[in-house]
Chains A and B, each alone.
Chain A
Amino acid sequence: MSDLTSAASVLAAALAVGLAAIGPGIGQGTAAGSAVEGIARQPEAEGKIRGTLLLSLAFMEALTIYGLVVALVLLFANPFVK
């Protein structure tokens, strides 16, 4: 493996996870905030709100996980390494 390839791969892996965490982070914050608001307004709907919240959080988390998968591929199964 050339030095350039490995350096670029490590950098790209770090960027992949880091950048992929920004959007879902903001989204999860908004979703959780709204859920708390909903529970405060209607405490009897807590169970339903929690279920929906967890499901949608997992959807958002999947986006970060895609970044993580790309990072892991770059680190452990890099297609550009001969």
Chain B
Amino acid sequence: MVPLSFPFHVAELEVGQHLYWQIGNLNLHGQVFISSWVVISALLVLVITGTRKMERDPQGVQNLLEFLWDYLRDLAREQIGEKAYRDWLPFIGTLFLFIFGCNWGGALVPWKLIELPNGELGAPTADINTTVAMALLVSLSYFYAGLSRKGLRYFEYYVEPTPIMLPFKIIEDFTKPLSLSFRLFGNILADELVVGVLAFLVPILVPLPAMFLGLFTSAIQALIFATLAANYIGEAVHEEHH
């Protein structure tokens, strides 16, 4: 990648610069790992403190977690259906919380204070590798969901309602992860770039509205990723009523 950086004092913009960790023949993007570990530990701390001392009348963190659980359960039930949603609620919930944490963590945590030898910390979801990994996980899980629930009858889905749909359904299996990953990656990278460019032009006050818009779209993107993942799984386990 060709780095583009503006060497000014107030703000800096870097694209395609990574902190590389070499493991064997693999080049890992270190900054993604560091920030996603931060996000994962923050989520763990939140969940563990919220479920330590559970009470009948939820208060504080437990209240928040119960609200989240309700919200995610409704989402999964609506998309997957009454019968199968319980198996997939943990997966959908984890996806939503991790993406939401990544997006907001990238925007809210002042990563710039931490100096890296190369590249900079930011939202892990602004790296195509993270989003492709999650999208492929979604693909695997809807295949697994369909095959484990219906066996080989799952492939009837490809020729319903008519066999003419077969090529389109096969292409769909490839476009699903493609669009899932690119949508999330593009949105988050675009948010970071817009804020970066504005901060580079006018370093005070002007980027604020763009930052708020970024927070809003980040939350929506997390919701969309989770909803679509649930929808694909729901499509795979859906039983036709003849």
Q: In the docked arrangement, what's the CA distance between A9 and B187, Å?
A: 22
The answer to whether B183 touches A77 (Cβ under 8 A) is: no
Instruction: Out of A62, A69, A81, name the residue touching B2 (CB < 8 Å).
Output: A81
Q: In the docked arrangement, what's the CA distance between A54 and B187, Å?
A: 15
Question: Chain A: interface residue count, which band?
Answer: 10 to 19
Chain B residues with CB below 8 A from A66, complex form:
182, 186
A62-B179 contact in complex given A68-B186, A76-B15, C-beta closer than 8 Å: yes
The A contact surface, by secondary structure, is helix
Interchain pairs with CB closer than 8 A, number = 44
Instruction: Out of A55, A61, A76, name the residue touching B1 (CB < 8 Å).
Output: A76
Q: Answer whether residue B185 sits at the interface, using C-beta atoms and an 8 A cutoff.
A: yes
Question: Chain B: interface residue count, which band?
Answer: 20 to 34
Instruction: Out of A54, A68, A72, A76, name the residue touching B220 (CB < 8 Å).
Output: A54
Shortest beta-carbon distance, B129 to chain A, in Å? 14
Q: In the docked arrangement, what's the CA distance between A68 and B193, Å?
A: 11
Shortest beta-carbon distance, A29 to chain B, in Å? 18
Within 8 A of B (CB), among A60-77: 61-62, 65-66, 68-69, 72, 75-77
Most B CB contacts (10 A, CB to CB) among A58, A68, A72, A77 go to A58
